[in-house]
A and B are shown apart, each in its own frame.
Chain A
Amino acid sequence: MEDYYYHDDEDGRHNDSYDYSYEHSVCDKEAVRSFAGVFLPVIYSLALVVGMAGNTLVVAVYASRSRLRTLTDVCILNLAASDLLLLVTLPFWAADAVHGWRLGPAACKLTSFLYGANFSCGMLLLACISVDRYRAVARRSGRGPRARRQWILVCSALWGLAIFLGLPELIFSTVKHSHHRMYCTAVYPPSMGRPAKAALELLEVILRFAIPFLVMVACYCSVGRALSRAPGLRRDKKWRALRVLLAVVAVFLLTQLPYNVVKLCRALDVIYMLVTDCEVSKGLDHAVQVTESLALTHACINPLLYAFIGSSFKGHVLKTAKRLGRRLGSRPRQEDGEPAVEIALNTRNQNQSQSGSEEPDTSTFSM
């Protein structure tokens, strides 16, 4: 690209009315860039503060071995760790939105990889939690050393898959110079066909949104049905548990659906070149920024939805604080941990099973 300047000709102020082809001039994204430069840092800072606080608390409480009694607990711990890793990348993206990427290609690759892998990991873990809750209701979840081995296997598989999903970003992200700014972005081989690219954007929507969502809905529907049928359970307790399930699914849908709809629109645009209007193109860019930020807030809400709600989290926070206090030499506080709001879902053998079960709380369903 080479820029030449006005040449000194006869009529320096040539009839500008000739620039009639406004619709055929470059769609200037400067306004969108300035919007991103303000909007993203604000939202990302908020997400960073709130998300760091919540997820650090979850890690602190769940990191003790005794707290990890089910696969769901293990997943909640992993989810918090994954969310922390995702949140760590936000200051870099905020800085990128304000004055471009100045940290070099290695940092660009690493940050993109962390973002992609942990975004996927969070979605996979949410699906895994729903499956484990379903298994708890269906009385198929195990305990003991064998179960622990199984947990490790499941978690390694999920992290492996998430890392795999982040690999393309690690490979193709690079720093690009454009419009007097450096950008950290992915540059793909030009040989790649357009429909293939779009199809693959659809695949991302499927792997990161559609499959986890369908798994969650299927599992929580079964859990909800079992819960509402469970005999010998107080109605308010039932209702409370159902509300939690509803909130989990609703929040997932509310935060993830808009972003994925926008992504689908963009995929369609890539295939069919639908957007030729500059205002529509800018609108789509704004939509991507707003909905992606919304999707990211999920990382801040996860501790609330999965750890703080329902279960005896408050009691555990106090216990952890006490333990830390003791370690630091200060006097222990008085313990006023609430009893666990764990709902015994003895769906089938409420009355028959007593001595036969391995452990008394095999069928508890903790939320």
Chain B
Amino acid sequence: MKPQVVALLLLALVCLQPAAGEKLVSCCLDTSDKCFPRQIVVSYYHQEAGKGCQHSATVFMSKAGKRLCAPAAHKSKCVQELVAFLDKRNKSKKQ
């Protein structure tokens, strides 16, 4: 076998998904382009692609207990603002 083929095969094997490894992680499958109003969000976390989920997203917890999907922070100005707002509010609450 040619070394390139071997290298490709090795690379391939490294990346095979294990058959038993499908874990049932709750993920954002799609993100909303609308801006969520500040009044309804209480917290947020980042969903990173490749760590159990396929998409990168910012997840906002709403007061009603729903987890809303917004684009990743670097992709949306409105998300950045909302994140900054929540960070600030949280900081002021802790003090």
Contacts and interface: CB of A to CB of B under 8 A. Distances in A.
Nearest to B9: A203
A270 to B, nearest CB: 7
Interface in B27-77: 27-32, 34, 36-37, 39-40, 42-43, 45-46, 48, 50-52, 54-55, 59, 61-64, 66-70
A273 B13 contact: no
A119 B21 CA distance: 14
A16 B13 CA distance: 48
Most buried by B among A30, A178, A275: A178
Contact of A25 (B11, B40, B68): B68
B15 interface: yes
A5 B86 CA distance: 11
B20 A25 contact: no
A359 interface: no
Contacts of B13: 164-165, 167-168, 200
B28 A6 contact: no
Contacts of A292: 19-20
A105 to B, nearest CB: 14
B17 interface: yes
Given A2-B43, A115-B20, A203-B16, A16 B64 contact: yes
A165 B68 CA distance: 40
Contacts of A15: 40
Contacts of A186: 17-18, 21
A277 B16 contact: no
Interface of A: 1-7, 9, 11-12, 14-16, 18-19, 21-30, 32-33, 36, 89, 93, 112, 115-116, 119, 164-165, 167-169, 171-173, 176, 178-179, 183-188, 190, 192, 194, 196-197, 199-201, 203-204, 269-270, 273, 275-278, 281, 285, 288, 292
Given A19-B66, A179-B26, A200-B13, 13 more contacts: A4-B90, A4-B93, A5-B43, A18-B62, A25-B68, A26-B27, A27-B28, A29-B26, A176-B51, A179-B25, A186-B21, A192-B15, A194-B54
17 contacts: A1-B46, A3-B61, A4-B86, A14-B39, A16-B64, A29-B27, A89-B20, A112-B21, A168-B18, A173-B18, A178-B52, A187-B51, A192-B15, A200-B13, A275-B29, A277-B29, A292-B19
